[in-house]
Amino acid sequence: MTKDTEKAQHSGLQYPFRIERNGYNTPTMSNNMSSSSSVSPVSRLLIIDDNEDITELIKDYLEPEDIECKIINSGKDGLEEIRNKNGYYDVIFLDLAMPEFSGLDVFNKLKEEQLLDTNNIIIFTASSTQSTEIANMLKDGAKYILKKPSSIDEILDVVTKFTKKKNDKVIKS
């Protein structure tokens, strides 16, 4: 078993944690793409999750797909980032179960400050949140619920789906 596979298994991501593209297995772990790169990323993803293993794995796999990933491992810092860069990120993955200031706290603050409409909030959680609470979050402005464990292809599909919607709005304007 490879180190990457072990890391993926222990962090709650589905096994195998690989991307299939053009007939090639590409378990490439590249950090060459950065926000200072001269090539613009196709998408911008903010990940607010206290599990550093999961966030680093997602970043390592999505950045080679031209998706800029910013990781914030606390709810309070994540809320500040959203406030400071309202509408900058195409997609925001928000974990609900975080210590001190949970993802639910972040969501409620965004709702209170009317920042849900300008941000694509994806609830990204392994939490056993009640289905009525999840339904209320979707009604209040969360765009999607992505349950952990998720495959990297599911994660990529969600980011692509919401980036496409945002780009469609820009083109139609």
pLDDT for residue 164: 73
Residue pointed to by tokens 């196709």: 42
Answer whether 15's CB lies under 8 Å from 153's CB.
no
Q: How confident is the model at residue 171 (pLDDT cuts 50, 70, 90)?
A: very low
pLDDT for residue 123: 94
pLDDT for residue 142: 96
Range of the domain at 76: 3-172
Using CA atoms, how far residue 52 sits from 74, 92, 153, 168, in Å, is: 10, 16, 20, 33
> 22 versus 47: which is more confidently predicted?
47
Poorest-pLDDT segment among 6-15, 96-105, 122-131, 159-168: 6-15
pLDDT for residue 18: 36
Answer whether 123's CB lies under 8 Å from 142's CB.
yes
Please check the confidence at residue 51 and state whether its pLDDT lies above 60. Answer: yes
| Model pLDDT for residues 74-93, shown as the tens digit of each residue | 999 999 999 999 999 999 99
Domain count, the chain: 1
| Model pLDDT for residues 113-141, shown as the tens digit of each residue | 999 999 999 999 886 666 788 889 999 99
pLDDT for residue 40: 57
Average pLDDT, the chain: 78
Residue pointed to by tokens 């952990």: 148
Nearest partner of 139 among 161, 160, 123, judged by Cα: 123
Token pair in block for residue 137? 């979050």
> 55 versus 168: which is more confidently predicted?
55
End-to-end CA distance of the chain: 50
| Model pLDDT for residues 12-46, shown as the tens digit of each residue | 444 333 333 333 333 333 333 333 334 456 899 99
pLDDT for residue 91: 96
Residue 19 belongs to domain with CATH number: 3.40.50.2300
> 24 versus 2: which is more confidently predicted?
2
